[in-house]
Structure 1
Protein backbone atom coordinates (compact mmCIF):
# COMPACT_ATOMS: atom_id res chain seq x y z
CA UNK A 1 0.00 0.00 0.00
CA UNK A 2 1.16 3.52 -0.68
CA UNK A 3 1.98 6.15 1.88
CA UNK A 4 -0.13 9.30 1.74
CA UNK A 5 2.75 11.30 0.20
CA UNK A 6 3.39 8.64 -2.46
CA UNK A 7 -0.29 8.56 -3.40
CA UNK A 8 -0.37 12.37 -3.61
CA UNK A 9 2.64 12.28 -5.97
CA UNK A 10 1.02 9.59 -8.14
CA UNK A 11 -2.19 11.64 -8.29
CA UNK A 12 -0.22 14.75 -9.25
CA UNK A 13 1.60 12.84 -12.01
CA UNK A 14 -1.69 11.42 -13.30
CA UNK A 15 -3.26 14.89 -13.39
CA UNK A 16 -0.28 16.28 -15.32
CA UNK A 17 -0.46 13.44 -17.87
CA UNK A 18 -4.25 13.86 -18.11
CA UNK A 19 -3.79 17.53 -19.00
CA UNK A 20 -1.13 16.66 -21.61
CA UNK A 21 -3.46 14.12 -23.20
CA UNK A 22 -6.38 16.55 -23.18
CA UNK A 23 -4.27 19.13 -24.99
CA UNK A 24 -2.98 16.56 -27.49
CA UNK A 25 -6.42 15.14 -28.20
CA UNK A 26 -7.82 18.65 -28.62
CA UNK A 27 -5.03 19.51 -31.06
CA UNK A 28 -5.55 16.32 -33.06
CA UNK A 29 -9.30 16.85 -33.27
CA UNK A 30 -8.75 20.35 -34.69
CA UNK A 31 -6.45 19.17 -37.47
CA UNK A 32 -8.12 18.98 -40.83
CA UNK A 33 -7.57 16.43 -43.56
CA UNK A 34 -5.90 18.22 -46.40
CA UNK A 35 -7.78 18.55 -49.68
CA UNK A 36 -6.86 15.52 -51.76
CA UNK A 37 -8.51 16.82 -54.94
CA UNK A 38 -5.41 18.49 -56.33
CA UNK A 39 -2.92 15.89 -55.08
CA UNK A 40 -1.33 13.26 -57.24
CA UNK A 41 -1.81 9.58 -56.37
CA UNK A 42 1.36 9.39 -54.25
CA UNK A 43 0.34 12.42 -52.19
CA UNK A 44 -3.14 10.97 -51.72
CA UNK A 45 -1.69 7.70 -50.44
CA UNK A 46 0.55 9.64 -48.07
CA UNK A 47 -2.43 11.70 -46.84
CA UNK A 48 -4.49 8.58 -46.17
CA UNK A 49 -1.55 6.93 -44.39
CA UNK A 50 -0.97 10.00 -42.22
CA UNK A 51 -4.67 10.19 -41.37
CA UNK A 52 -4.69 6.51 -40.34
CA UNK A 53 -1.62 7.09 -38.17
CA UNK A 54 -3.22 10.14 -36.56
CA UNK A 55 -6.39 8.15 -35.83
CA UNK A 56 -4.36 5.32 -34.33
CA UNK A 57 -2.45 7.75 -32.10
CA UNK A 58 -5.70 9.41 -31.10
CA UNK A 59 -7.21 6.04 -30.14
CA UNK A 60 -4.12 5.13 -28.10
CA UNK A 61 -4.13 8.49 -26.32
CA UNK A 62 -7.86 8.23 -25.63
CA UNK A 63 -7.44 4.76 -24.11
CA UNK A 64 -4.65 6.07 -21.88
CA UNK A 65 -6.86 9.03 -20.95
CA UNK A 66 -9.69 6.68 -19.91
CA UNK A 67 -7.26 4.61 -17.83
CA UNK A 68 -6.01 7.75 -16.09
CA UNK A 69 -9.58 8.79 -15.26
CA UNK A 70 -10.18 5.32 -13.80
CA UNK A 71 -6.97 5.53 -11.75
CA UNK A 72 -7.93 8.97 -10.41
CA UNK A 73 -11.37 7.66 -9.46
CA UNK A 74 -9.78 4.66 -7.72
CA UNK A 75 -7.56 7.02 -5.71
CA UNK A 76 -10.62 9.01 -4.67
CA UNK A 77 -12.62 5.97 -3.53
CA UNK A 78 -9.62 4.32 -1.88
CA UNK A 79 -9.10 1.23 -4.02
CA UNK A 80 -6.16 2.42 -6.13
CA UNK A 81 -3.70 -0.37 -6.86
CA UNK A 82 -6.24 -3.20 -6.65
CA UNK A 83 -6.42 -5.44 -9.72
CA UNK A 84 -9.83 -5.14 -11.39
CA UNK A 85 -9.67 -8.79 -12.46
CA UNK A 86 -8.52 -10.75 -9.40
CA UNK A 87 -8.84 -8.19 -6.59
CA UNK A 88 -5.22 -8.60 -5.48
CA UNK A 89 -2.80 -5.75 -4.86
CA UNK A 90 -0.93 -4.60 -7.99
CA UNK A 91 2.80 -4.51 -7.30
CA UNK A 92 4.20 -1.15 -6.29
CA UNK A 93 6.93 -1.56 -8.90
CA UNK A 94 4.30 -1.96 -11.66
CA UNK A 95 2.30 1.04 -10.44
CA UNK A 96 5.39 3.23 -10.24
CA UNK A 97 6.23 2.31 -13.84
CA UNK A 98 2.62 2.53 -15.04
CA UNK A 99 0.52 4.52 -12.52
CA UNK A 100 -2.69 3.96 -14.47
CA UNK A 101 -2.36 0.14 -14.52
CA UNK A 102 -5.67 -1.48 -13.69
CA UNK A 103 -4.53 -5.09 -13.54
CA UNK A 104 -1.71 -7.00 -11.93
CA UNK A 105 0.89 -8.30 -14.36
CA UNK A 106 -0.50 -11.86 -14.38
CA UNK A 107 -4.06 -10.75 -15.19
CA UNK A 108 -2.80 -8.26 -17.78
CA UNK A 109 -0.86 -11.01 -19.56
CA UNK A 110 -3.93 -13.27 -19.50
CA UNK A 111 -6.10 -10.49 -20.97
CA UNK A 112 -3.56 -9.81 -23.72
CA UNK A 113 -3.39 -13.52 -24.57
CA UNK A 114 -7.20 -13.66 -24.84
CA UNK A 115 -7.18 -10.63 -27.16
CA UNK A 116 -4.84 -12.46 -29.53
CA UNK A 117 -7.21 -15.42 -29.94
Structure 2
Protein backbone atom coordinates (compact mmCIF):
# COMPACT_ATOMS: atom_id res chain seq x y z
CA UNK A 1 0.00 0.00 0.00
CA UNK A 2 1.44 3.35 -0.93
CA UNK A 3 1.70 6.50 1.19
CA UNK A 4 -1.30 8.13 -0.53
CA UNK A 5 -3.54 5.19 0.44
CA UNK A 6 -2.23 5.19 4.01
CA UNK A 7 -2.93 8.93 4.28
CA UNK A 8 -6.46 8.38 2.93
CA UNK A 9 -7.24 5.62 5.43
CA UNK A 10 -5.75 7.60 8.32
CA UNK A 11 -8.05 10.52 7.45
CA UNK A 12 -11.08 8.23 7.15
CA UNK A 13 -10.35 6.57 10.50
CA UNK A 14 -9.67 9.87 12.27
CA UNK A 15 -12.88 11.33 10.82
CA UNK A 16 -14.84 8.31 12.01
CA UNK A 17 -13.30 8.59 15.46
CA UNK A 18 -14.13 12.30 15.65
CA UNK A 19 -17.74 11.69 14.56
CA UNK A 20 -18.24 9.00 17.19
CA UNK A 21 -16.74 11.17 19.92
CA UNK A 22 -18.91 14.14 18.90
CA UNK A 23 -22.09 12.01 18.95
CA UNK A 24 -21.09 10.64 22.33
CA UNK A 25 -20.65 14.14 23.73
CA UNK A 26 -24.01 15.22 22.28
CA UNK A 27 -25.70 12.22 23.91
CA UNK A 28 -24.18 13.07 27.27
CA UNK A 29 -25.36 16.68 26.94
CA UNK A 30 -28.87 15.60 25.88
CA UNK A 31 -29.22 13.22 28.78
CA UNK A 32 -27.95 15.64 31.40
CA UNK A 33 -30.16 18.46 30.11
CA UNK A 34 -33.24 16.27 29.74
CA UNK A 35 -35.22 17.04 32.85
CA UNK A 36 -38.59 16.64 31.20
CA UNK A 37 -41.65 15.66 33.19
CA UNK A 38 -44.24 13.58 31.35
CA UNK A 39 -47.93 13.76 32.23
CA UNK A 40 -48.69 10.69 30.16
CA UNK A 41 -47.02 7.41 31.19
CA UNK A 42 -46.95 6.35 27.53
CA UNK A 43 -44.88 9.42 26.64
CA UNK A 44 -42.48 8.65 29.46
CA UNK A 45 -42.18 5.02 28.34
CA UNK A 46 -41.46 6.13 24.78
CA UNK A 47 -38.79 8.57 25.97
CA UNK A 48 -37.19 5.85 28.15
CA UNK A 49 -37.23 3.43 25.24
CA UNK A 50 -35.61 6.03 22.98
CA UNK A 51 -32.93 6.70 25.61
CA UNK A 52 -32.20 2.99 26.02
CA UNK A 53 -31.92 2.61 22.24
CA UNK A 54 -29.53 5.56 22.03
CA UNK A 55 -27.41 4.11 24.82
CA UNK A 56 -27.20 0.75 23.01
CA UNK A 57 -26.02 2.55 19.87
CA UNK A 58 -23.41 4.50 21.86
CA UNK A 59 -22.20 1.26 23.47
CA UNK A 60 -21.68 -0.26 20.03
CA UNK A 61 -19.86 2.89 18.96
CA UNK A 62 -17.69 2.67 22.08
CA UNK A 63 -16.55 -0.75 20.94
CA UNK A 64 -15.98 0.64 17.46
CA UNK A 65 -13.76 3.39 18.91
CA UNK A 66 -11.41 0.71 20.23
CA UNK A 67 -11.22 -0.93 16.78
CA UNK A 68 -10.60 2.41 15.06
CA UNK A 69 -7.83 3.24 17.54
CA UNK A 70 -6.27 -0.16 16.91
CA UNK A 71 -6.40 0.44 13.14
CA UNK A 72 -4.67 3.80 13.61
CA UNK A 73 -2.03 2.04 15.71
CA UNK A 74 -1.53 -0.48 12.90
CA UNK A 75 -0.96 2.45 10.53
CA UNK A 76 1.67 3.83 12.91
CA UNK A 77 3.28 0.38 13.19
CA UNK A 78 3.30 -0.16 9.42
CA UNK A 79 0.97 -3.15 9.68
CA UNK A 80 -2.21 -1.59 8.32
CA UNK A 81 -3.79 -3.41 5.40
CA UNK A 82 -2.19 -6.76 6.19
CA UNK A 83 -4.34 -9.72 7.16
CA UNK A 84 -3.66 -10.76 10.74
CA UNK A 85 -4.42 -14.38 9.83
CA UNK A 86 -2.48 -15.05 6.60
CA UNK A 87 -0.30 -11.95 6.29
CA UNK A 88 -1.52 -11.13 2.77
CA UNK A 89 -2.64 -7.65 1.77
CA UNK A 90 -6.28 -6.82 2.45
CA UNK A 91 -7.94 -5.51 -0.71
CA UNK A 92 -8.47 -1.77 -0.98
CA UNK A 93 -12.18 -2.25 -1.69
CA UNK A 94 -12.57 -4.20 1.56
CA UNK A 95 -10.64 -1.56 3.48
CA UNK A 96 -12.81 1.18 2.01
CA UNK A 97 -15.91 -0.70 3.15
CA UNK A 98 -14.50 -1.43 6.61
CA UNK A 99 -11.20 0.36 7.24
CA UNK A 100 -10.71 -1.15 10.70
CA UNK A 101 -10.81 -4.73 9.44
CA UNK A 102 -7.95 -7.09 10.27
CA UNK A 103 -8.84 -9.96 7.94
CA UNK A 104 -8.72 -10.32 4.17
CA UNK A 105 -11.92 -11.46 2.49
CA UNK A 106 -10.76 -15.08 2.21
CA UNK A 107 -9.86 -15.36 5.91
CA UNK A 108 -13.05 -13.56 6.96
CA UNK A 109 -15.14 -15.91 4.81
CA UNK A 110 -13.38 -18.91 6.36
CA UNK A 111 -13.96 -17.50 9.86
CA UNK A 112 -17.68 -17.03 9.15
CA UNK A 113 -17.96 -20.52 7.69
CA UNK A 114 -16.26 -21.99 10.77
CA UNK A 115 -18.68 -20.07 13.02
CA UNK A 116 -21.62 -21.38 11.01
CA UNK A 117 -20.38 -24.97 11.36
CA UNK A 118 -19.86 -24.53 15.13
CA UNK A 119 -23.25 -22.86 15.48
CA UNK A 120 -21.92 -19.58 16.93
Report TM bin, short chain.
Answer: 0.7 to 0.9
Match of 1:46 in 2: 46
Please give the root-mean-square deviation of Cα atoms over the aligned residues, in Å.
2.6
TM-score by length of 1: 0.79
**How many residue pairs were aligned?**
116
Residues 57 and 113 of structure 1: is their aligned pair in 2 closer, same or farther, counting only changes over 3 Å?
A: farther
Task: Please say if residues 82 and 89 of structure 1, whose CA atoms lie closer than 8 Å, have aligned partners that are also in contact.
Answer: yes
Show structure 2 runs of 5+ residues with no match: none
Point out 4+ residue stretches in structure 1 off by more than 6 angstroms. Answer: none
TM-score by length of 2: 0.77
Question: Distance between the aligned counterparts of 1:29 and 1:113, measured in 2?
Answer: 40
- Uncovered stretches (5+) of structure 1, i.e. residues with no partner: none
